[in-house]
């Protein structure tokens, strides 16, 4: 009997912000037929990711997921007394949610923000918590919906209502304007950038035959993502901090240089004509501050 090697990774990343790369906390390999919203696997990935964080920070974590994490079991686990975790998870729009959305009067919709925190034309947010029966969900859960006009040329989906595109998420946030809370959740999309970087680092094609062997490969990919992320935060500055693996390979990792010994010192000489010699030199200088002695 041959082993089924089809796989479907589930990953967790630490978001260090728009100006820095994301740190891979865990990459869990799953069978290719695994469900996208399996609560047990979301819990396992979250546990493994939290274990990577310093103990003092584990009670100050916001868990963000797409709609795959919007399940009863996962949210019950997140809100278990003593964990003190916060959440902002996508929700699949059900028939009850669709009815609640259509019942909202125009006056309750507030302008939504773009990625820069400015009002985005053609997008609004509203809360439908009071229009839903949430008795079976964790106490204090809020459901917030975003409405926006589709981009020119975009095709409407069958879940879109009234000519607009809707997305919902659940959160335990008690304070803040709806637009700010929704923007905080939407920044989860930076995870797509982290996944792209992980694919460029080796996650795109798993090269081995056995499931366990490919899980080890995923651990190596996570380690590579972590090294590049911390290299950017410790050594690089400005736009270079967010360079992804392909750009790092072109501009830094492939730089030609010579190690020269003289005067009891070891020097790295770079070609003066190398277009990105300045950020590389600045990175090496910063790293010297972290070198022992």
Q: What is the mean pLDDT of residues 25-40?
A: 79
For CA atoms 191, 223, 34, 87, the dihedral sign is: negative
Cα–Cα distance list, 284 to 37, 225, 251, 257 (Å): 44, 19, 14, 13
Q: What is the mean pLDDT of residues 40-68?
A: 91
What pLDDT does 5 receive?
47
Q: What is the mean pLDDT of residues 22-35?
A: 81
- pLDDT over 80 at 22, yes or no: no
| 7 DSSP 8-state letter | B
- pLDDT over 50 at 130, yes or no: yes
Q: Which residues contact 119 (CB under 8 A, 6 or more apart)?
A: 111, 112, 113
Q: For residue 47, which of 25, 22, 75 has the smallest C-alpha distance?
A: 25
Q: What is the mean pLDDT of residues 26-51?
A: 85
User: Are residues 66 and 258 in contact, defined by beta-carbon separation less than 8 angstroms?
Assistant: no
Of 2-16, 25-39, 106-120, the one with minimum mean pLDDT is 2-16
Looking at the chain, the whole-number percentage of residues with pLDDT higher than 90 is 41
Q: What percentage of the chain's residues is helix, strand, coil (to nearest 5)?
A: 40, 20, 40
Q: What is the mean pLDDT of residues 28-51?
A: 84
What pLDDT does 153 receive?
63
User: Are residues 128 and 97 in contact, defined by beta-carbon separation less than 8 angstroms?
Assistant: yes
Crossing angle, helix 190-198 and helix 211-235, to 10 degrees? 120
What pLDDT does 211 receive?
86
Of 18-32, 57-71, 134-148, 172-186, the one with minimum mean pLDDT is 18-32
pLDDT of 232-289, one tens digit each?
888 888 888 888 899 999 888 888 888 888 888 888 788 878 888 888 888 878 877 7
Rounded to two decimals, the pTM is 0.83
Helix (H, G, I), strand (E, B) or coil at 235: helix
Structure tokens at 167: 């997305």
> SS3 letters for 77-130?
HHCCCCCCCEEEEEECCCHHHHHHHHHCCHHHCEEEECCCCCEEEEEEEEECHH
């Amino acid at each position: 009997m041959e082993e089924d090697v089809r796989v479907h990774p589930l990953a967790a990343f630490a978001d260090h912000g728009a100006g820095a790369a994301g740190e891979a906390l865990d990459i869990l390999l799953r069978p290719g037929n695994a469900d996208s919203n399996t609560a047990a696997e979301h819990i396992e990935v979250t546990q493994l990711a939290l274990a990577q964080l310093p103990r003092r920070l584990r009670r100050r974590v916001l868990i963000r997921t797409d709609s795959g994490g919007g399940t009863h079991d996962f949210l019950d686990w997140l809100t278990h007394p003593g964990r003190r975790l916060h959440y902002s998870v996508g929700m699949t729009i059900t028939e009850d949610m669709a009815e609640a959305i259509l019942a909202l009067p125009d006056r309750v919709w507030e302008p939504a923000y773009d990625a820069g925190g400015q009002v985005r034309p053609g997008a609004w947010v509203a809360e439908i918590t009071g229009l839903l029966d949430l008795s079976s969900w964790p106490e204090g859960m809020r459901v917030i919906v975003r409405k926006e006009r589709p981009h020119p040329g975009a095709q409407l989906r069958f879940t879109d209502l009234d000519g607009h595109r809707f997305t919902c998420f659940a959160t335990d946030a008690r304070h803040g304007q709806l637009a700010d809370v929704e923007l905080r959740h939407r920044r989860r999309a930076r995870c797509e950038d982290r996944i792209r970087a992980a694919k460029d680092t080796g996650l795109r094609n798993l090269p081995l035959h056995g499931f366990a062997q490919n899980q080890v490969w995923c651990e190596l990919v996570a380690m590579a993502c972590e090294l590049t992320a911390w290299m950017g935060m410790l050594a690089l500055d400005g736009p270079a901090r967010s360079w992804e693996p392909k750009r790092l390979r072109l501009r830094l990792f492939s730089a030609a240089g010579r190690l020269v010994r003289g005067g009891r010192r070891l020097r790295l000489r770079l070609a003066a004509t190398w277009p990105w010699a300045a950020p590389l030199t600045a990175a090496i200088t910063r790293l010297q501050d972290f070198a022992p002695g």
